[in-house]
Amino acid sequence: MWKNGKRWVYSITYDEGCAALLDHALPVHRKYGIPGHLALVASQIGVPRNVPGSSYDGMMILTKQQIHALAKEGWGVSCHSLTHATFTDENAHREVVESRRVLEAAIDMPVTLFCVPGDNTNYPHTLALAGEAGYTSILTIYDQVNTIHTDLLRLGRCPLHTEYPPPFYSVFDPYKRIHQAIDQGGWIIDYCHCPMPGKPIHPAKDCTVEELEERFATVCRVGGDDVWLAEPNEVVDFLLTEKRK
């Protein structure tokens, strides 16, 4: 059982922390009472995103003040590396360890979760350095449901995207992994970037605002009183407390 006897858990994360979330995603969160979570690139707070080649390059990133306002509504944060680079033996310490200090100073908030940037090729370096950095958990992009027994240093996230690229063309599914989570007593962590009305910024990396609302409505309708709508830091703290008992 989860907190307050809930049967399963639902969370959602947004990589990068684009300021447009305030206009488009935040009203949906408020409507359904679901807290959000921002995976923030430590060196890019309150400035246009600077990751050439990214679909989100140039988009304004939330400021410290905006992040604090979201935190008052129950949102949380994680570190998404220092620059969103591909990790090497030469830069991994900066991207994983030093990034925590930089981000905490930039937003004046404690940061204990790390969110692997790019694809999971950056995960081994992250895992090797997580202890030195003092992270309690790692968010990956392994598409899986977590349980109370999942290694906190390898938490899976389920992509909430409009359509995967070929050869699969896997389209948006508002029920994705919900029944699996119910059956296993699990924890879904959705992830996307910055949902926009009508058309995603990138269909394989994001959903639309309309799809986000459909997902939230489905989670709440199917989950009812059995689902814990939680921010990831809160769930990690709960699991760590349970392990100490």
- Look up tokens 């944060």; give the residue: 77
Mean pLDDT of the chain: 97
Whole-number pLDDT of residue 1? 86
Whole-number pLDDT of residue 189? 98
Whole-number pLDDT of residue 224? 98
Cα-trace Rg, the chain: 17
Question: If one looks up domain 3-244 in CATH, what number appears?
Answer: 3.20.20.370
pLDDT mean over 118-136: 97
Whole-number pLDDT of residue 243? 84
β-pair partners for 137: 113
Q: What's the pLDDT tens digit per position in 28-40?
A: 999 999 999 999 9
Whole-number pLDDT of residue 92? 98
3-state secondary structure the chain: CCHHHCCEEEEEEEECCECCHHHHCHHHHHHHCCCCEEEECCCCCCCECCCCCCCCCCCEECCHHHHHHHHHCCCEEEECCCCCCCCCCCCHHHHHHHHHHHHHHHHCCCCCEEECCCCHHHHHHHHHHHHHHCCCEEECCCCCCECCCCCHHHECCEECCCECCCCCCCECCCCCCHHHHHHHCCEEEEEECCCECCCCCCCCCCCEHHHHHHHHHHHHHHHHHHEEECCHHHHHHHHHHHHHC
Whole-number pLDDT of residue 86? 96
Whole-number pLDDT of residue 43? 98
pLDDT exceeds 80 at position 198: yes
pLDDT mean over 236-244: 92
Q: What's the pLDDT tens digit per position in 81-91?
A: 999 999 999 99
Q: At 84, which amino acid appears?
A: H
pLDDT exceeds 80 at position 201: yes
